[in-house]
Amino acid sequence: MTDLIRLTAAELAAKIHSGEVSSVEATQAHLDRIAAVDPAVHAFLYVDAERALQAAKAVDEEVAAGRAPVSPLAGVPVAVKDVLATQGSPTTCGSKLLEGWIPPYDATVTRKLLEAGTVILGKTNMDEFAMGSSTENSAYGPTRNPWDLDRIPGGSGGGSAAALAAFEAPLAIGTDTGGSIRQPGAMTGTVGVKPTYGTVSRYGLVAYASSFDQAGPCARTVLDAALLHEVIAGHDPMDATSVDTPVAPVVAAAREGARGDLSGVRVGVVRELVGEGHQPGVLASFEAAVRQLRDLGAEVVEVSCPSFDLALAAYYLIAPSEASSNLARFDAMRYGLRVGDDGAHSAEEVMSLTREAGFGPEVKRRIIVGTYALSAGYYDAYYGSAQKVRTLVSRDFDAAFGQADVLVSPTSPVTAFRIGEKVDDPVAMYQVDLCTIPSNMAGNAAISVPSGLSDGLPVGLQIFSPALQDHRGYKVAAAYEAARDAAQGGSLIHRVPELEVSH
């Protein structure tokens, strides 16, 4: 590896802005890394080297002219999950149904990245339409975990997380509907953040489940995630669910936390998210992390959120119900794949043939479940009841945050499993999201930070914050990260095994 790809985003930005390193050099180093290792990892679906280098050159010209950078991350490369629209570049959502689709507009998150001077390297692989927990459901093949290429990198945003762990990008954007940023973060030894729902625009984010979907930052350090968070967050009139409130001071909180003092902070351990179903190594890592928080001065208490036991089942009724509505737009009439358009088939037949050919099995499964849950005679028993559970989850969070400033749990009950191990068992796959789903149900913020290794595979510590108080999680995560690195002799991410490179 070159020194440039090992730098944090904050370190790289400082070197670019001082003129010590050019953005073109940094961008080319990451493009070279992608060319070398991505044939093995398959983190990217699309790389736009020409456009990336043009963007980098523009930043270098501003630096050479003595003008202040437009943002703290100007000139730093970033990878974008292929569920966000990028004008002039393919957006497939990991599906054959959108193969070759070139959006005529940018998602708000994409636009904010460009306005901040970041350099978009390309689009990352994902479970089709963000439906999955392993990135095995991509129509373009699975992404592999850089820690062990026989294992999954988590999902649905495994491409973004794997790109970070493989040092193909210093920053990435993911989306989190039921844990799709945090769970891949835990499984790849990286940092993943689900911001408070509504604080990052969903305009241009191809919808899976609109009341859950939330874009957020992926990075290798807490500070890098905070810097990216502040770039993409903010009110957007193009998104009806966007919250018109100031962006939480996450960068200041991360810097404060890194000083290592959590005196006066009360941390609540969620009883229902620790125990049965968790691998022993995951529990051991979590218990060690809690002890570390206590050593940093935090007061640790146990809290109970009884409805969390019902959250997984409720989520897998509500989210597919929303998906059955959202994915109805893929009708072969306006854009994307079209099968049977030979004059011999009716519009209805073309629509049916296209969906049969274009949607993968997991997407079909969730559409069927969602349509059933919304059907006459079953709506109240299934969808209606699940929404009541959602209310109970929110109430449990409110009660728990009355006892603690932040809540903690393992991010995932298991470490990265082998590719193919759970693909034929949907229920086992869904249970991987056990710890992450509650915060999507309630809409509050959550962050996953690496907490060590179990049998050589990364484990994540999850920190929940109240809605609009995202900075609380950043402070605790940064304090823990600094203490962990000091105790373990350096950053966890630099222990990822070196990958075989192509020639």
Tell me whether strands 171-175 and 77-81 are parallel, antiparallel or unpaired. parallel
Tell me whether strands 266-270 and 299-303 are parallel, antiparallel or unpaired. parallel
Start-end of H helices in 375-416: 385-401
Q: What is the pLDDT at residue 276?
A: 81
**How far is it, in rounded angstroms, from Cα 300 to Cα 290?**
8
Residues noted as catalytic? 81, 156, 180
SS3 state of residue 37? helix
Query: Number of C-alpha atoms within 13 angstroms, CB side, residue 175?
Result: 37
Take residue 133 and report the two structure tokens written for it: 């927990």
Take residue 356 and report the two structure tokens written for it: 């049969």
**How far is it, in rounded angstroms, from Cα 228 to Cα 217?**
6
Start-end of H helices in 327-414: 347-358, 361-374, 385-401
Preceding peptide of 23 cis, ω within 30°: no
Neighbouring CB atoms inside 10 A of 425's CB total 10
Q: What is the pLDDT at residue 503?
A: 41
- Show Cβ contacts of residue 425 under 8 Å, excluding neighbours closer than 6 positions: none
Q: What pairs with residue 407 in β-bridges? A: 268, 464
> What are residue 44's phi and psi, to 5 degrees?
-105, 140
**How far is it, in rounded angstroms, from Cα 476 to Cα 222?**
10
Could you tell me if 232 and 193 are in contact, meaning their C-beta atoms sit under 8 angstroms apart?
no
Q: What is the pLDDT at residue 502?
A: 53
Q: What is the pLDDT at residue 458?
A: 98
State the residue for tokens 């500070």: 223
- Show Cβ contacts of residue 348 under 8 Å, excluding neighbours closer than 6 positions: none
- The CA-atom distances, in angstroms, between 186 and each of 202, 288, 316, 409, 459 are 24, 16, 22, 12, 5
The closest alpha carbon to 188, from 214, 152, 137, 233, belongs to 152
Strands (E), 31-158: 44-47, 77-81, 119-124
CATH 3.40.50.2300 describes domain 3-266+445-495: no
Could you tell me if 267 and 299 are in contact, meaning their C-beta atoms sit under 8 angstroms apart?
yes
Q: What pairs with residue 457 in β-bridges? A: 454
Q: What is the pLDDT at residue 1?
A: 42
Q: What is the pLDDT at residue 104?
A: 97
Sorted by where each begins, the domain ranges of the chain are 3-266+445-495
Local confidence pLDDT in tens for the 503 residues of the chain = 458 999 999 999 999 999 999 999 999 999 999 999 999 999 999 999 999 999 999 999 999 999 999 999 999 999 999 999 999 999 999 999 999 999 999 999 999 999 999 999 999 999 999 999 999 999 999 999 999 999 999 999 999 999 999 999 999 999 999 999 999 999 999 999 999 999 999 999 999 999 999 999 999 999 999 999 999 999 999 999 999 999 999 999 999 999 999 999 999 999 999 988 899 999 999 999 999 999 999 999 999 999 999 999 999 999 999 999 999 999 988 888 999 888 889 999 998 999 999 999 999 999 999 999 999 899 999 999 999 999 999 999 999 999 999 999 999 999 999 999 999 999 999 999 999 999 999 999 999 999 999 999 999 999 999 999 999 999 999 999 999 999 988 899 999 999 876 54
Query: What residue type is 260 in one-letter code?
Result: G
Q: What is the pLDDT at residue 355?
A: 93
Q: What is the pLDDT at residue 341?
A: 85
